[in-house]
């Protein structure tokens, strides 16, 4: 399901400019179920992708965005956003203990707050954040994955 819209900046984002945003998720070609959960609520943007093949990834991603949506700071504070993502992780663990979802459920998370010309990102896993500027796409985050570690160690190439 795709949703696109334009957002006129406020004092909380970039004065005088128009920031375009949208969201889209796709189940992909491997999984039977979409485990993505999103927040598109400027200045807060979050994507959580339940860990495919793990138990109840869709539950974990829903818990993550719920917690982050409730606790995220109102301004671009990197430490506070990071603590919010850590709290979401605790909520996922506690939910599994309480019988919601399953033991071992998990999700990737990329959370960003855009305030004026300041962007802060909290990220865990391999859901990436990119910057599109003047037609050029730049990866802003590093994947937390075995493959990324192997590429950085020179054991394999990105291709």
CATH code of the domain containing 107: 3.60.40.10
> Does any domain span residue 55?
yes
> Does any domain span residue 65?
yes
- Tell me the pLDDT band of 25, cut-offs 50, 70 and 90: low
> Does any domain span residue 58?
yes
pLDDT averaged over every residue in the chain: 81
Q: What is the pTM of this model?
A: 0.77
Mean pLDDT across 24-34:
62
> Does any domain span residue 53?
yes
Q: Which residues contact 102 (CB under 8 A, 6 or more apart)?
A: 55, 56, 59, 96
> Does any domain span residue 157?
no
Q: Please name the residue that has the structure tokens 């979802």.
A: 101
Number of domains in the chain: 1
> Does any domain span residue 140?
no
> Does any domain span residue 80?
yes
| Apex 24 CA angle, 126 and 29, nearest 5 | 65
Mean pLDDT across 134-154:
86
Looking at the predicted structure, is the pLDDT value of residue 20 above 70?
Answer: no
Supply the range of the domain harboring residue 111: 10-23+33-125
> Does any domain span residue 154?
no
- Tell me the pLDDT band of 145, cut-offs 50, 70 and 90: confident
- Tell me the pLDDT band of 2, cut-offs 50, 70 and 90: very low
**pLDDT value of position 81:** 97
Looking at the predicted structure, is the pLDDT value of residue 99 above 80?
Answer: yes
């Amino acid at each position: 399901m795709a949703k696109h819209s334009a957002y006129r900046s406020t004092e909380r984002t970039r004065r005088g400019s128009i920031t375009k945003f949208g969201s889209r998720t796709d189940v992909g070609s491997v999984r039977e179920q979409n485990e993505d959960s999103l927040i598109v609520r400027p200045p807060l943007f979050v994507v959580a992708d339940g860990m495919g093949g793990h138990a109840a990834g869709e539950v974990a991603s829903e818990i993550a965005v719920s917690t982050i949506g409730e606790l995220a700071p109102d301004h671009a504070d990197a430490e506070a956003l990071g603590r919010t993502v850590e709290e979401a992780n605790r909520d996922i663990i506690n939910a599994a203990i309480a019988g919601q979802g399953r033991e071992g459920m998990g999700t990737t998370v990329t959370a960003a707050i855009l305030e004026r010309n300041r962007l802060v990102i909290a990220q865990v896993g391999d859901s990436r954040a990119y910057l599109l500027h003047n037609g050029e796409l730049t990866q802003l985050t590093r994947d937390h994955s075995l493959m990324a570690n192997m590429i950085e160690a020179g054991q394999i190439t990105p291709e």
